[in-house]
C-alpha cells in the first residue's frame, strides 16, 4: 500500500528483516537460515531470498549473504537493527511508564511506531524516562551508540535443576501469554522457586514466598528467562 520512499534503503520491511536477523543470530551472530526468517517474519521463503539478495546487493550492504548458506548482518545492518530495537524498547517503556499502557499492549504499538519516530522523538522520550537501560519486559535497551549488554539469563523452559531464581525478562511478543504471566504475579525481578524437572511433568514454580505451587504452560515457561538468585 504505502510507499514512504525513504530514499535510502530503509523501510519498515527492511527494519523488520534486520531485527529478525539480529535476534535469530543470537549473541554469536551466527548465520540465520531463510526458513528461520520466513517463520519469524511470517513470509514465504521465496520472499526472504528476494529481500536478502537485495539487501546484500545494495551499495552499502546491510547483510552478508551467500546462496544456501544463510545471512548475517553487516556492521551497517547491525547498527540499524540496534537502532530499531532501541526505538522499540524505548517506546515500550514510554507507553508503560508515561501512558500507563497495560504491559501486554506495549509490544504491538511499539512494533508499529518504532519505524516512524524521529531522532528527536527518541531523544525526548529517553530523556523523559531518565535514559532507562531496561524496558518493562526486562530487556536491555541498546544505547544511542548501538551498544547492548548480553542478556545473561536462560529460558525457564530449559532449566532442569530446581532452585531459587529471579525473573530476568519475559518475551513480549505474545500478548495472551504475557497477560497470563502478569495475572499470576510473574513479573521481572520477582523471585521464584522452581521444582527440579525430574520431579514433575510440567513446570511447577512458587512465585515469591507463596506456598501455592503454580503450574506453567509450555508457552509461559518458554517466555520466561531467569537467573539464579544471589543468596
Partner DNA sequence: CCTACCTATTAGGTATACCTAAATCGTTGA
Partner DNA sequence: TCAACGATTTAGGTATACCTAATAGGTAGG
The binding site for a second copy (CB under 8 A) comprises 1-6, 11-13, 95, 98-101, 105, 108-109, 112-113, 116-118, 120-121, 124-125, 128
CA atoms lying within 13 Å on the CB side of residue 147 = 3
Q: Are 30 and 40 spatial neighbours (Cβ–Cβ below 8 Å)?
A: no
Shortest spacing between CB 80 and DNA, in angstroms: 13
Q: Restricting to residues 119-178, which ones interact with DNA according to CB under 7 A?
A: none
Shortest spacing between CB 116 and a second copy, in angstroms: 5
Q: Does 113 bind DNA (CB under 7 A)?
A: no
Shortest spacing between CB 83 and DNA, in angstroms: 16
Shortest spacing between CB 19 and DNA, in angstroms: 12
d(CA 78, CA 83): 8
Site string for DNA, 4-23 (x = CB under 7 A): -------xxxx-x-------
Q: Select from a second copy, DNA, none the partner in contact with residue 101, using the beta carbon and a kind-dependent cut-off of 5 to 8 Å.
A: a second copy
Residue with cell 529517553: 126
- Our CB check for DNA shows the closer of 70 and 77 to be 70
d(CA 157, CA 141): 24
d(CA 18, CA 36): 13
Q: Select from a second copy, DNA, none the partner in contact with residue 79, using the beta carbon and a kind-dependent cut-off of 5 to 8 Å.
A: none
Sign of CA dihedral 115, 120, 122, 124: negative
Q: Does 51 bind DNA (CB under 7 A)?
A: yes
Burial label, 106 (beta-carbon count in 10 A; 0-12, 13-18, 19+): buried
CA nearest to 186, candidates 100, 88, 104, 92: 104
- Our CB check for DNA shows the closer of 14 and 81 to be 14
Packing angle of the helix pair 34-41, 12-25 (nearest 10 deg): 120
Shortest spacing between CB 180 and DNA, in angstroms: 29
Shortest spacing between CB 113 and DNA, in angstroms: 17
d(CA 149, CA 140): 7
Q: Write the Ramachandran bin of 206: left for phi over 0, alpha for psi from -120 to 50, otherwise beta.
A: beta
- The single residue among 33, 153, 164, 200 that binds DNA, judged by CB under 7 A, is 33
Q: Select from DNA, a second copy, none the partner in contact with residue 52, using the beta carbon and a kind-dependent cut-off of 5 to 8 Å.
A: DNA
Q: Restricting to residues 52-111, which ones interact with DNA according to CB under 7 A?
A: 52-54, 67-70
Which residues are at the interface with DNA (CB under 7 A)?
A: 1-3, 11-14, 16, 33-36, 42-54, 67-70
Amino acid at each position: 500500500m504505502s510507499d514512504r520512499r525513504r530514499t535510502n534503503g530503509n523501510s519498515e520491511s527492511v527494519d523488520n528483516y534486520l531485527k529478525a536477523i539480529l535476534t535469530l543470530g543470537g549473541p554469536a551472530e551466527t548465520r540465520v537460515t531463510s526458513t528461520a526468517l520466513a517463520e519469524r517474519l511470517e513470509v514465504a521463503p521465496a520472499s526472504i531470498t528476494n529481500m536478502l539478495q537485495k539487501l546484500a546487493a545494495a551499495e552499502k550492504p546491510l547483510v552478508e549473504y551467500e546462496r544456501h548458506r544463510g545471512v548475517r548482518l553487516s556492521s551497517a545492518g547491525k547498527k540499524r537493527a540496534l537502532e530499531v530495537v532501541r526505538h522499540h524498547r524505548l517506546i515500550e517503556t514510554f507507553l508503560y511508564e508515561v501512558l500507563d499502557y497495560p504491559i501486554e499492549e506495549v509490544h504491538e504499538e511499539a512494533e508499529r511506531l518504532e519505524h516512524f519516530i524521529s531522532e528527536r522523538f527518541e531523544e525526548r522520550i529517553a530523556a523523559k524516562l531518565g535514559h532507562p537501560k531496561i524496558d518493562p519486559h526486562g530487556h536491555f535497551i541498546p544505547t544511542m551508540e548501538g551498544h547492548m549488554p548480553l542478556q545473561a539469563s536462560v529460558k525457564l523452559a530449559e532449566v532442569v535443576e530446581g532452585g531459587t531464581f529471579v525473573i530476568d525478562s519475559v518475551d513480549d511478543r505474545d500478548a495472551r501469554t504475557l497477560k497470563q504471566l502478569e495475572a499470576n504475579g510473574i513479573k521481572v525481578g520477582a523471585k521464584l522457586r522452581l521444582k527440579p524437572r525430574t520431579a514433575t511433568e510440567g513446570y511447577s514454580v512458587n512465585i515469591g514466598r507463596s506456598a501455592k505451587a503454580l503450574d506453567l504452560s509450555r508457552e509461559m515457561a518458554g517466555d520466561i528467562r531467569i537467573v539464579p538468585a544471589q543468596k
